[in-house]
Structure 1
Amino acid sequence: MYRLLVTGLKGQIGQAIKDRIEHQGWDVLFTDIDTLDITNDEQVAAVFKAFKPDVVINAAGYTDVDRAEHDVAAAEYVNAYGPYLLAIQCHKLGSLLIHFSTEYIFNGRNHSTYVETDTPAPLNVYGRTKLQGEQYIKACLSHYIIIRTSWVFSEYGRNFVTTMLSLSRKDAPIRIVNDQFGCPTYAGDLANLVVDITKDHQAETGRYQFGDYNFCGDSGCGNSSGDSGVSWLDFAYAIFDELDKYQPGEQGRNLTGVTTEEYASIAIRPKNGILNCHKISPIFRPLDWRRKLRHVIAITMA
């Protein structure tokens, strides 16, 4: 039977994958740090030896961008060394490695959207460690697919959407950055993409070539060189507009736009994080993130 190893089960993407992959007829081993620490070479080797996966989906990651600035070693272990260990074992078995990366590998100074071949120049520890992970994979493997994505949201766990819903119940002003631009991406769409890549690999149809792909939510976002994307403030307004259908006028909407400098977060973030999805769109078209936002709000408010 075709075997899949999935790491990072408890994260947004991991949970979304579990919901969409269990009924595909594959033998799937879901893991998280309590069952597989991807930074432990002996554990990784033992799991690969016992399970012998055909495809490995690495959804594990250190994603706390601000905390990473002070917790550099932990971020490096999870985002760089962990993918390195997975890549070594994938090379030994001939397994396909599907790995998630981020727009944070870029510095955000482009005047156009970022394509897969643009030169990375991360501004913070998170972006640097994610780039290191990519580089380790490419040094070890030819059979890999790296999916760069951005602003992931879902009905699972803590993310920008769930944070805004929580803050909506408070009367205090909500300060949101209005000069960083990107593309919100639904975790379920990323999971569906992974399922499609795995089916393609199993059937050997060759629709997906090995290498890097950008994939993020679409609503005109990231699909033309002149597109400005949406800001975090725009995203917040979209969330409250959907919430208004369930709680008309109750949440107050005390939104205040502030600049990156005024917000003064610990980590420096790219102001332009818009990923161009032209490469993957003919194979698997990104879906409208606003429609998926409606889906998440509906589930949350049910």
Structure 2
Amino acid sequence: MGSWEDFYASHLPPTDFEDNRQLLKQFCEHHIKDENQNIVLVTSGGTIAPLEHNTVRFVDNFSAGSRGSSSAEYFLQNNYAVIFLFRTKSLEPFTRHFSGQQFLDMLEISDNNENSNINVRPDSVDVLLPILTKYKTAQESNRLLYINFTSVSDYLWLLRAACEALAPFERRALLYLAAAVSDFYVPQDDMPKHKIQSGATPKISLQLVPKILKPLVSTWVPNAFVVSFKLETDDSLLIAKSRESLMKYNHKLVIANILQTRRHRVVLVTPTTSEEILMTKEQAHSGLEIEEPIVSEVCKRHEEFLAGAEQ
């Protein structure tokens, strides 16, 4: 595995990188003026590792973005300014509540001879109105910034840029790293320029993506409250693997979950404690999402972290 410096040196930033960096800078400069405003970077969705420069085929680290998109909404409810760094076409805050057909079914067309109008069906107003109100509030208060990525290279460039913009917030910055980042990539020098032909038998040499938590915690945002996620399939490894990560990278919290039960059980792990958040079937049926208590607990711990600095 090469170093993170080598990765950046050998991979070009995304074509819209400078525009996005400027958006990140402006968003952070706007909110840092308020000394009571906390800010969170939520990363969400999976990344692809292209197999060709003109990408047709790729290795995909799939994630629908459910946890990240829902968590972003709950951070807004907890009065955070939110940078939502997400995979293109993965779930987004607010629109995640509606599939394409479901949303269209909520609308109706009315004609009055000269003009056609689109209205929300009366039986759908109670569903759409509270979500639309929250979205409009976030937009009008400039507390939600969307930045999208596709490849693992795009993600790493934008993650570093976001950290640079967040660094002046120091302890008021929270990083909630929920994206499913590719573990492997094909070095750009090893990629064919054009599409790999279907009749060929490709030989693909994958390299490990450098672990970016190390420079992020130690150098880019050394004073921030950094939360990572750990997904396992073997429950007996969950706590040990989480603590191993905490000891290695020295961040504040790991949210650990098992693949099969991640929708209703997580464990919040620190170097010395572990606290389970478990959602019952009754709570799930009532509409509660596990991200609500997760985010509530993360915000509480961030506040304790800030209070500790004041003592």
TM band (smaller chain): 0.3 to 0.5
Query: Whose strand fraction is larger, Structure 1's or Structure 2's?
Result: 2
Query: Whose helix fraction is larger, Structure 1's or Structure 2's?
Result: 2
Q: Which has the larger radius of gyration?
A: 2
